[in-house]
A and B are shown apart, each in its own frame.
Chain A
Amino acid sequence: MFVELNITLRVSRHPARNGKAFDEYRVQLEERMSVLDALFRVQREQDSSLGFRCSCRVGMCGTCAVYVNRVPRLACSTLVRSLECDVLTIEPLPHYPIVKDVAVSLQPFFEQWRRAKPAFRPRKPEARDLARIPKDSKYRRLTPTKRDCITCGACFAACSIVGMNDHYLGPAAINKAFLRVLDPRDAAREERVKVLDRSLDGVWRCHTQFNCTAVCPRHIDLTDSIVRIKRALFWPGRLLKP
């Protein structure tokens, strides 16, 4: 059965227009429409000046993350119907500088990402053969669920520690470093561990609130990575063996 949704969209405007921080639009949507579809409908039919970001529209690129009803979500993968409300409040992700309306710059996220040294550094750069990783290794068992990060920045926006500490690495960067630290082929383990182990902006800042895990659109258990890194730093001999 074809169902229509009548939704009020409250969209944050930056810079504020006519002294109003939010603009309201009434939109008619079809049942399977996403938040991104709703934003497009507003932009095409009511207000062409509305600014937002998107790219792949299938939840792969992480560009369209916005704050929907106070929860960071991917606009393209969030069905309006699933939110079960008549008024949708769409704001830019917190903890990021706003570019325009609900579009933000991910610069703070990638600054921390860079600090975690995300690039792979081979242990044997001259080797021509493929490195074999045993099926039962810790790396093989843990990584399939943790490799899917699309760097949308939702975890960074949901993390209350990031909100209080500009220098905190953030969940995604820690997860990336965790993957590299665990990788038996990687040679830069000590450098990464040094960054992770910093008391003021490393893993020890995490208060285990699980907000990052709750909002991750790829369902990565980011807090688990942080907790594992903490334990690894506590018992380095046990968990950081190559």
Chain B
Amino acid sequence: MKLYLREAVRKYRWQFSGMVAWLIQRVTGLLLLFYLFLHVETISKLSQGPVAFDQAVGTFNSPLFKLLEIALLGTVVLHAFNGVRITLVDLGIGVEKQRHLFWYVAVGIGLLVFLAGAIPMFLFAVLRV
């Protein structure tokens, strides 16, 4: 299995971009769903008063949660940019260029946007320079 995976990544990455993009969209979608539950749970603490809410928000101030926030940014960016690609393909725009759309737009530009957000977050929230 390992051999197949390694070979698939090495040789078929480009050929099966559509499948890779689909998998990424599903996985990031599930991660965002998990985040949504966590978010709603935290917001719902408001109904228990300001102290309970402050306590809940306080847990997210640790460096570990700041790192997870950076990961969340990456997940959102990838899901959003790939979502744009899927919408374009469904509209019939760039169907034959879907590989380029995925690697250059969703992954490439997505990575730049991610870095633009992740570097300040890491410097000021995790390292607190």
Question: Which residues does A use to contact B, with CB under 8 Å?
Answer: 69-71, 84-85, 160, 207-211, 213-214, 221, 223-224, 227-228, 230-231
Contacts and interface: CB of A to CB of B under 8 A. Distances in A.
Interface of B: 4, 7-8, 11-12, 15-19, 22, 86, 89-92, 95-96, 98
Contacts, number: 48
A237 to B, nearest CB: 16
Nearest to B22: A209
Contacts of A213: 18
A214 B92 contact: no
A228 B98 CA distance: 15
A207 B25 CA distance: 11
Given A211-B19, A214-B18, A223-B18, A85 B96 contact: no
- What 7 A-B pairs come out closest when comparing CB atoms? A210-B18, A224-B95, A209-B22, A214-B15, A209-B19, A209-B18, A214-B16
B100 to A, nearest CB: 12
Contacts of A70: 4, 7-8
Contact of B86 (A69, A208, A228, A230): A208
A211 B92 contact: no
Given A69-B4, A160-B19, A209-B18, 6 more contacts: A71-B12, A210-B19, A211-B16, A214-B16, A214-B18, A223-B18
Contact of A230 (B18, B90, B96): B90
A211 B17 CA distance: 9
From B4, B86, B91, B98, name the one whose CB has the most chain A CB atoms within 10 angstroms: B98
B96 A227 contact: no
A207 B22 contact: yes
A224 B12 CA distance: 20
Nearest to A89: B4
B96 A210 contact: no
A4 to B, nearest CB: 23
Contact of B96 (A208, A211, A214, A224): A224
Contact of B17 (A69, A160, A210): A210
Given A69-B7, A70-B8, A71-B12, A227 B19 contact: no
From B7, B12, B90, name the one whose CB has the most chain A CB atoms within 10 angstroms: B7
B19 A208 contact: no
Contacts of A208: 18, 22, 86, 89-90
Contacts of A160: 19
Contacts of B98: 210, 223
Given A85-B7, A210-B98, A227 B90 contact: yes
B54 to A, nearest CB: 43
A189 B95 CA distance: 25
